[in-house]
Amino acid sequence: MKGIYKCKINNYHRIGDDLYLLSLRLSGRVAVKPGQFFMLRVREGSEPLLGRPLSWFRYFPNRRILEFAFQVMGKGTEILSRRREGGDLSIIGPLGNGFETKGLRGRVLLVAGGMGMAGLWSLAEALGRNPNCAVELVWGVKSKSRFFLLKELSKRFKVHPATEDGSLGKAGLATELVKELIDQEGLPEHIFACGPKPMLKSLSKPALSKKIPGQVLYEERMACGVGACLGCAVPASGGGYLHACLDGPALRFDQIDWERVRC
Ligand SMILES: Cc1cc2nc3c(=O)[nH]c(=O)nc-3n(C[C@H](O)[C@H](O)[C@H](O)COP(=O)(O)OP(=O)(O)OC[C@H]3O[C@@H](n4cnc5c(N)ncnc54)[C@H](O)[C@@H]3O)c2cc1C
Ligand code: FES
């Protein structure tokens, strides 16, 4: 259930250039669904005033440990990267609607772009344990140093890495690799994706034209995370707007008017 959690920073690891794994010890248990997120107060006090949204990454209920993986992008994440073990940190969540996975069967394609893997990790692990699903993960990054914790991914599913500079896996974009996989192996039963908007927009074309059911984790800039500021508008198919923090961030491809999505 959604709440404000006062946590202790249990552990901090650098997992790549500007990439961090933050491990928090919660005071109680929390029920989380893949695709949901938390607003993190990066430090006490009024500066910065707004929390920063991060997808939960891994959860170990017996130890009450909740992890986040993040990239330093600006002021908030930079402050977060300088916090130290033993410090206090407040988080609000879990927020938003996570991925819908009820009744899922067959071949499932997960597509992550760069840090978008942080939002898909928990889903990949959960679906990997689902005996009804054959999961394949396409993870595209600019260069191999942008992959993180690759060796810690479950062996229960196949990983297809792609790098724009060809330093690991297939040379090219994740979307190009998806096209190749579809050409070689046929259409998947379902696609889940998280990553930069151009990647999601590009994926929406085959997903909608070939009628492949799919969901994206739509990461819009968020000030409140709880539906109060209306700042996280997502162009809705059929007109008007959805709000990423309340209606999403997990949304079906066909809920979004991709023509109006600005990249
Ligand atoms: C639902 C959701 C889940 C996310 N999960 C992750 C994650 O697991 N790992 C990760 O590295 N990043 C994630 N992001 C992106 C992350 O929230 C931004 O990188 C971060 O807020 C940037 O804050 P900043 O202060 O460092 O940068 P600044 O640019 O200084 O941020 C200024 C403001 O813009 C907002 N903002 C900036 N970029 C984004 C963005 N891409 N999305 C949303 N708000 C933004 C910030 O919240 C803040 O209010 C997620 C975003 C959303 C919406
Ligand atoms: S972030 Fe404020 S309404 Fe969504």
Summarised one tens digit per residue, pLDDT across range 155-214 is: 999 999 999 999 999 999 999 999 999 999 999 999 999 999 999 999 999 999 999 999
Q: How confident is the model at residue 3 (pLDDT cuts 50, 70, 90)?
A: very high
Q: What is the pLDDT of residue 45?
A: 76
* 70 Cα–ligand 1 center, Å: 9
Q: Which two tokens stand for residue 25?
A: 């010890």
- Tell me the C-alpha distance between 204 and 253, whole Å: 6
**Parallel, antiparallel or unpaired: strands 250-252 and 241-243:** unpaired
Across residues 81-92, what is the average pLDDT? 94
The residues, any chain, with a CB within 8 Å of residue 45's CB and separated by 6 or more, are none
Q: How confident is the model at residue 41 (pLDDT cuts 50, 70, 90)?
A: very high
* 220 Cα–ligand 2 center, Å: 9
Check whether domain 106-260 has CATH 3.20.20.140, yes or no = no
Q: What phi and psi, each to the nearest 5 degrees, are found at residue 128?
A: -60, -30
Domain boundaries, the chain: 3-94, 106-260
- Tell me the C-alpha distance between 226 and 183, whole Å: 41
State which H helix or E strand residue 53 sits in.
Answer: strand 52-55
The residue nearest atom 19 of ligand 1, judged by CA position, is 73
pLDDT greater than 90 at residue 1 = no
Residues with CB under 6 A from ligand 1: 37, 50, 52-55, 69-71, 73-77, 115, 118-119, 219-223, 249
In terms of CATH, what superfamily is 3-94? Translation factors (2.40.30.10)
Give pLDDT tens digits for 108-139: 999 999 999 999 999 999 999 999 999 999 99
Q: Nearest 5°: CA angle at 187, between 186 and 192?
A: 135
Mutate-to-test residue for ligand 1 from 75, 83, 219, highest number of ligand atoms within 8 A of CB: 219
Residues with CB under 6 A from ligand 2: 222-225, 227-232, 243, 245
Q: What is the pLDDT of residue 152?
A: 94
The residues, any chain, with a CB within 8 Å of residue 157's CB and separated by 6 or more, are 124, 127, 128, 134, 135, 136, 137
pLDDT greater than 80 at residue 77 = yes
